[in-house]
Structure 1
Amino acid sequence: MEGNFGPAEQLLWPLSVFSGVLMCKVVYQVTHKVSMLYLKGYNNLTKLEKIEWNSRGVSTFHAVIVAAASLYLLVFSDLFKNGSKSELVVNRKSLLSDATLGISLGYFLSDLAKILWHFPSLGGKEFVLHHGLSMHSIFLSLISGKAHIYILMVLFSEATTPFVNFRWYLEKSGKKGSNLYIHNGMALFFGWLVARIFLFIYMFLHMYLHFDQVKTIFPLGLYSLLTIGPAMALLNLFWFLKILKGMVKTLSRRRHVQ
C-alpha cells in the first residue's frame, strides 16, 4: 500500500479523529441538557432510553456534518469532476476529504464502543457489522489516500439518519399516530431510496465504468471495495424492506381508522 503520510496528514488525521470523538462527547452532553430543560417527556424516560436519546442526537449531528461535506466535495467542488485534475479519480483527495473521513472515523469509533458496552440494547449485530465495515473502509481510504470518492458517496447516505432518529423521537414522545410521524416516514422512505439504494447503484456503475482505475488500488483496498460495498448495499436493502413494511403497516392502520 502506498503511503499518504505527508506533514499535513500527520497533523490532520489524529486531530480530525480526536475532533470526531470530542464532537460525540460534547453533542451528547448538549443533547442531554437541552432535552432535560425543554422536553417534558425526557425526564420520564428510563436510563437506557435517555442514553439512546442522547446518542441519537450525536448521530444526527454527525450525519448532517458528513453529508454536507460529502455533498460539497462530490457535487459542488472540482475535486472529482472530469478533466479538473490530472490524477486518477480514485487517487484524488483533499484536506477537507481527509478531515471528513477522520471525523467520521472518530464518530464510528465512539458509537461502536457505546453499542458494545450496552449490547444489544442500543443496536444488534447488524449495527456492529455496519460500524465495523465503515471503520475498516474509512481507515484504509484515509491512510492510503485512495477511493475517497466512493467513501464519500457512502458517507452521504448518512443524510437519511436524521429521519430515522426523528421517527424514534416521535415514538418515544407518544406521537406515533401524528401527521408529523407519517410525513417523516414518507421522507425517510424516499430519502432512503435515493441515498441508500439509487446512490449505491450509481456508485457500482461508476466503479464499473472506471474499473481500469479502480484496479490500480492496492490489493487489500481493492478487495475491500469490491466486497464491503455490496455488503453495505445488502444491509441498506434489508433496512429498506423493514422501512417499507413499517410504512405500509402505518398507512393501512391509519386508513382503517379513518
Structure 2
Amino acid sequence: MDGSYLVVVGSFFLFQILFHLITPRLSALLSRGYRNLQQAQKTEWHSRCVSTVHALIVGGLAMYILWFDDNVNRDRIWGDPRLVKVNIAIASGYLINDLVLLLWHWKTLGDRYFISHHLAALYAYQYVLARGLLPYFANFRLIAELSTPFVNQRWFFEVLGFPRSTRLVLLNGMAMSVSFFLVRIAVIPSYYQQVASSFGTAAFYRLGFGPQCAWITSSVALDILNTIWMYKIARGCWKILFTSQKHRKTEHSTSFQPHCPGLKKQD
C-alpha cells in the first residue's frame, strides 16, 4: 500500500478515537455545561471538536506549504507533492471519518450539503494521492479550513446557552464571518486566475481529460457550496447584530422611563 494511503487509514482511526474516546472524556472534565447536554447534542459536540482539531492541523499545514514549499509553488500542476500528499491524506481520512459519522448519526448530524462537499473533495483528492497531480491547487483548497474553528465555536456558544448579545459571541461571530469570507470567498478570483493561467500549457495537457474534469468540476462545486454557506452566515450575522443593536436601544430607552411619566411601557 502506498504511504499516502497508510496516512489516510491512520488519520481515519485517529479521528475515530478522538470522537469516541478522547473528546467525551476531555469535555466532561473541562466543561460543566457539557454534562447537561442531551445525547444528540453531545454527539454533535464530539463531531465539532474533531472538526476543529482537523481544521487546525490541515489549515496550518496548508499555509506552511503555500509560504515555504517552493517546488509546489513554482510548478502548480506537477510540483513535488510529498508534503501536500501528507496533508491531503490527513484531510481524506477525516472526510471518510466524517462521512461515516454523518450517515451513522443522520438524524443528529445529517446534512446533504456536507455529503456533497465531502464526496466532491474526496473525488478530487484521489488524483493527488494516487498520481501526485495538481498539488498547489489541492493544497490551496485546504486553507478554507481555517474558518472552521470559529464556525464550531459559534455552535458551542449556542448550545451552552450563551446569549447572542454577549461580547464573546459577537466577537466570534465577526471573526467567523471575516475568516470565512477571506479563506473561502475572497480567494476565489485569485484561485481561478491561477487555473486560467494553466490552461493551454504543456503541463495542463499532460493531465488528461479525467483529471482536468475532476479539477474543474470539484472546484466549481465546492465554491458554489461555499457561496451558499457564506450567504447563510452573512444573514445570521446581520440578524444577530441587528437584534443586539435593537436590544441595546430598547434597554437605553427603558432606563429613562422612570423620569418620563408620559411614556407608556410597551410589551
Fold similarity call, TM over 0.5: yes
1:196-233 alpha-carbon deviations (Å, 9 max, x no partner): 01223211110101222334312211001111111110
Q: Separation in 2 of the partners of 1:129 and 1:43?
A: 33
Tell me, yes or no, if structure 1 residue 95 matches structure 2 residue 85: no
Q: Separation in 2 of the partners of 1:186 and 1:200?
A: 21
1:79-134 alpha-carbon deviations (Å, 9 max, x no partner): 2333xxxxx43011332211111111111001001101122421311110011111
Aligned residue for 2:7? 16
Instruction: Please state how far the C-alpha of 1:14 moved relative to its aligned partner.
Output: 2.6
Q: Separation in 2 of the partners of 1:113 and 1:237?
A: 25
Given residue 4 of structure 2, which amino acid in structure 1 is its aligned partner?
W
Aligned residue for 1:202? 190
Instruction: Please state how far the C-alpha of 1:34 moved relative to its aligned partner.
Output: 1.0
Equivalent pairs counted in the alignment come to 244
The secondary structure found in structure 2 opposite 1:81 is helix
Tell me, yes or no, if structure 1 residue 219 matches structure 2 residue 219: no
Tell me, yes or no, if structure 1 residue 31 matches structure 2 residue 31: no
Given residue 140 of structure 1, which amino acid in structure 2 is its aligned partner?
Y
Given residue 128 of structure 1, which amino acid in structure 2 is its aligned partner?
I
| Higher RCO structure (Cα 8 Å, ≥6 apart) | 1
Contact in 2 for aligned 1:13/1:98 (Cα 8 Å):
yes
Aligned residue for 1:186? 174
Q: Separation in 1 of the partners of 2:104 and 2:73?
A: 42
Moved more, 230-239 or 204-213: 204-213
Name the % identity.
29
Q: Separation in 2 of the partners of 1:214 and 1:187?
A: 37
| Aligned partner (choices 238, 247, 251) of residue 228 of structure 2 | 238
- CA gap of 1:94–1:147, structure 2 versus 1, over 3 A, is closer
Aligned residue for 1:7? none
- CA gap of 1:11–1:216, structure 2 versus 1, over 3 A, is closer
Q: Separation in 1 of the partners of 2:172 and 2:235?
A: 15
Instruction: Please state how far the C-alpha of 1:53 moved relative to its aligned partner.
Output: 0.3
Tell me, yes or no, if structure 1 residue 167 matches structure 2 residue 154: yes
The within-5 A match list for 1:106-185 is: 106-177=93-164, 178-185=166-173
Given residue 162 of structure 1, which amino acid in structure 2 is its aligned partner?
P
Tell me, yes or no, if structure 1 residue 74 matches structure 2 residue 66: yes
Provide structure 1 residue ranges, at least 5 long, that are not aligned to the other structure: 1-9, 83-87
Q: Separation in 2 of the partners of 1:168 and 1:113?
A: 21
Moved more, 211-220 or 240-249: 211-220
Q: Separation in 2 of the partners of 1:120 and 1:135?
A: 23
Aligned residue for 1:85? none
Aligned residue for 2:41? 49
Given residue 22 of structure 1, which amino acid in structure 2 is its aligned partner?
F
- CA gap of 1:186–1:224, structure 2 versus 1, over 3 A, is same
1:30-73 alpha-carbon deviations (Å, 9 max, x no partner): 22111112211111111111111011111110111101111111
Instruction: Please state how far the C-alpha of 1:26 moved relative to its aligned partner.
Output: 2.9
1:126-170 alpha-carbon deviations (Å, 9 max, x no partner): 110011111111112210110111111111101111011000000
Q: Separation in 2 of the partners of 1:215 and 1:238?
A: 32
User: What is the root-mean-square deviation of aligned Cα atoms in Å?
Assistant: 1.4
Contact in 2 for aligned 1:24/1:58 (Cα 8 Å):
yes
Contact in 1 for aligned 2:72/2:135 (Cα 8 Å):
no
Q: Separation in 2 of the partners of 1:199 and 1:190?
A: 13
Given residue 216 of structure 2, which amino acid in structure 1 is its aligned partner?
L
Given residue 238 of structure 2, which amino acid in structure 1 is its aligned partner?
V
Normalised TM-score (structure 1): 0.90
